A and B are shown apart, each in its own frame.
Chain A
Amino acid sequence: QKEVEQNSGPLSVPEGAIASLNCTYSDRGSQSFFWYRQYSGKSPELIMSIYSNGDKEDGRFTAQLNKASQYVSLLIRDSQPSDSATYLCAAQAAGNKLTFGGGTRVLVKP
């Protein structure tokens, strides 16, 4: 059973719109959560980390965490074609070990 679940997509959004990505996790011991962006053929790139309930904003990105619901989300505002990528949600328990979701592919259409 996968411990971190994401909708595989593709999530298609028009340029300038908001892309909303969701992620759920099963391990209540997870304390830290991350969103990575991965372009095809490239390594994942960290874009957001979140550790406590609520919202965290960084530029056009907003991460939301609800530990009671075991739910993490990522909003991308003013989506650009360069945001087209696969977004990986990851949960971290003790020992720095990350568990990744399957990733959501996002397509931003000009």
Chain B
Amino acid sequence: GAVVSQHPSWVICKSGTSVKIECRSLDFQATTMFWYRQFPKQSLMLMATSNEGSKATYEQGVEKDKFLINHASLTLSTLTVTSAHPEDSSFYICSAAQSGGELFFGEGSRLTVL
């Protein structure tokens, strides 16, 4: 299957700082990428749809000023958690779609905010 890479795989930060997570499609171009968040023992919740060259589309209840998404190229989308707080601690996962519609996921980034 297609390869989607995320970095970093885990990060620990102090409350109030900002954290950037990168998502790259390594062997295909992705005009659309998706960002999910998963809390322990829960399913994936879509946060936003990242569109190359345009603004991201956020799901209801997701603060766009807190979770900044940039999709500057066809192979890279970034999620920045601004002024992180302990309740933002979660597993953040990106995904990208090939032309066939199948979504492939990155390895995930585990964020812990102290």
Binding site for B on A (CB under 8 A): 32, 34, 36, 41-46, 49, 88, 92, 95-103
Alpha-carbon distance A108/B39, docked complex (angstroms): 24
Known contacts A97-B46, A98-B46; A42 and B103 CB within 8 A of each other: no
B97 shortest CB reach to chain A, Å: 4
Known contacts A44-B93, A97-B34, A103-B43; A49 and B107 CB within 8 A of each other: no
A88 and B46 contact, CB distance less than 8 A: no
Given A98-B95, A102-B43, 4 further pairs, Cβ under 8 A: A45-B105, A46-B103, A96-B34, A96-B97
Name the 4 nearest CB pairs between A and B, nearest first.
Answer: A43-B108, A96-B97, A43-B105, A102-B43
Name the CB-closest residue of A to B51.
A95
B49 within 8 A of A: yes
A96 and B32 contact, CB distance less than 8 A: yes
| Most A C-beta atoms less than 10 A away, residue of B6, B95, B110 | B95
Name the CB-closest residue of B to A51.
B101
A42 and B34 contact, CB distance less than 8 A: no
Alpha-carbon distance A43/B107, docked complex (angstroms): 5
Alpha-carbon distance A43/B36, docked complex (angstroms): 11
B54 shortest CB reach to chain A, Å: 13
A42, A95, A99, A101: the one contacting B49 at CB < 8 Å is A95
A88 and B1 contact, CB distance less than 8 A: no
B103 and A96 contact, CB distance less than 8 A: yes
B101 and A44 contact, CB distance less than 8 A: no
